[in-house]
Chains A and B, each alone.
Chain A
């Protein structure tokens, strides 16, 4: 029910026109606009918007920092891997120069096989190309210096004339001389190759490379290779083998001995040291102390070596090594057999 009187309503409308003051209107409208511009809802949105954006922004910054760190670490690791893994992936060429080798022995020789100054192995091994320039510079310089020390330490009677002839190394090996095909293959890989690669050295290199491939400690692989070599030495009949091994390396005019060798990476240094042990026995590039320490790691083989030296008439060398054996092997008295224990002692 509508109680409105039309006439009264009309009269009331016509004569009732009061309005709020303009200043009051302006104040209320300004307050309303302020409330919308910075009111609770808008203010809350503005307060939370930066917080909403901070999370992805912080996450992106963190991811970026981690990515930069990883990128900075990657080249270093890849460089190390390139020097340490490259020998295992080097071109397969050395096995051609090898004779019966264990089936598990991988063909690529380690990178340190090349710089050995042994005349019997002047031909650069295939892994030479895998060497870094620093390694190539370091190896000849080091081996030259070590060979010089070795030459000084050796007695004149046992030192044969310096001709770096290949036959000097022959008595050490039971393997046949490298075939023509192997020589051809080596020649393809490394042009300056006056002699074919020494089979024994290749075998040691292969064993070392095999150890690297199977992730075994290099020391174990080299020790096994050393055992094989001693076994072969026992079978060898040539009496001048030991002296021949000690043959000094020929002077290498191209060896940058004056260039200070750069510090190798840890993995590379370890590999170089391990390979140097084997090659030091074969080519004697290291000092006698180092050689003795290397031999001390396999006392049984060393005993066989001393006995062999004695049997071959190289009493001075046998006595010297026997003395070193007693000094370096902790339980030398127990290990030494009776004949060596009482021999001239």
Chain B
């Protein structure tokens, strides 16, 4: 019997056994995070809708073979990540080389030295008064890998190890990506946050 206190894994197992209400509860818990993860990554609402539907339909299709070897969150975000990768491959998305992969740090320094766009200036955001929009813009300005790691952590609640496993990189790399992403966002929102506070 599933209930509000049931874990994600219990709900998914119950749904695999034929309990539709279990899926309802599971979907209510994770639909926002998965949707925002896809939306932030592809930056297109219609595409995000399509990918979002594909992810959940895939989860519905493989419900019987679901095994709680990992957290459900890890599993569903893995489905979303794979679908996103497929989408990128299908649309010819050019994946830039990650500065995190540069062991010497030269690339990272180079990227850090690149000035942001004019609308990234805190004053502009204060003028617009849309902190949320500035935050989304700051996220969009992040490199894919940093944004990816950030979204998996802040939307999915995944740990460093889980993100590392999902993205196929080492834990230190994930940690570095998150550190850079957080610093950029904090820098982008600092002026606005002061004005907002």
Contact = CB atoms under 8 A, between A and B. Distances in A.
Interface in B141-158: 153-154
Given A8-B189, A16-B36, A24-B53, A32 B132 contact: no
A343 interface: no
Interface stretch (B13-21, B67-75, B76-84, B87-95): B13-21
Interface string A25-67: 1011101110111011110000000000000000000000000
B165 to A, nearest CB: 16
A36 B23 contact: yes
A7 B193 contact: yes
Nearest to B49: A24
Contacts of B23: 29, 32-33, 36
**Interface magnitude class on chain B:** 35 or more
Nearest to A3: B178
A19 B31 contact: yes
Given A33-B20, A41-B18, A9 B64 contact: no
A338 to B, nearest CB: 105
Given A4-B153, A7-B193, A28-B53, A19 B32 contact: yes
Interface in A93-126: none
B2 to A, nearest CB: 13
Contact of A36 (B18, B32, B56, B132): B18
Contacts of B63: 35, 39
A17 B24 CA distance: 20
Interface in A143-158: none
A253 interface: no
B18 to A, nearest CB: 5
B57 A31 contact: yes
A36 B160 contact: no
B171 to A, nearest CB: 9
B160 A3 contact: yes
Interface residues of A, number: 32
Nearest to B157: A4
A12 B135 contact: yes
Contacts, number: 91
A27 B27 CA distance: 12
B154 A4 contact: yes
A17 B36 CA distance: 8
Contact of B64 (A28, A32, A41): A41
A41 B61 CA distance: 11
A21 interface: yes
Contacts of A19: 31-32, 35
Contacts of B179: 3
B29 interface: no
Binding site secondary structure of chain A: helix
Given A3-B153, A8-B189, A24-B52, A31 B182 contact: no
Contacts of B131: 11, 15
A1 interface: yes
B42 interface: no
Contact of B154 (A12, A24, A28): A12
B39 interface: yes
B132 A31 contact: no
Given A4-B153, A12-B154, A18 B39 contact: yes
A9 B181 CA distance: 12
B96 to A, nearest CB: 22
Nearest to A5: B182
A8 B185 CA distance: 8
A40 B64 contact: yes
Given A4-B153, A16-B135, A29 B24 contact: yes
A176 interface: no
Contact of A11 (B16, B20, B35, B135): B135
B149 to A, nearest CB: 9
A1 B153 CA distance: 12
A93 to B, nearest CB: 79
A20 interface: yes
Interface string B148-177: 000001100000100000000000000100
Given A16-B132, A27-B53, A42-B18, 19 more contacts: A3-B178, A3-B182, A4-B182, A5-B186, A11-B131, A11-B135, A16-B135, A18-B32, A24-B52, A25-B27, A28-B53, A28-B56, A28-B60, A29-B23, A32-B24, A33-B20, A35-B61, A40-B64, A41-B18
Q: Give the top 5 A-B pairs by smallest Cβ distance, nearest first.
A: A15-B132, A3-B178, A32-B23, A20-B35, A36-B20
17 contacts: A4-B182, A8-B186, A11-B189, A12-B154, A15-B132, A15-B135, A16-B36, A16-B135, A19-B32, A20-B31, A20-B35, A20-B52, A28-B57, A29-B23, A31-B60, A35-B60, A36-B15
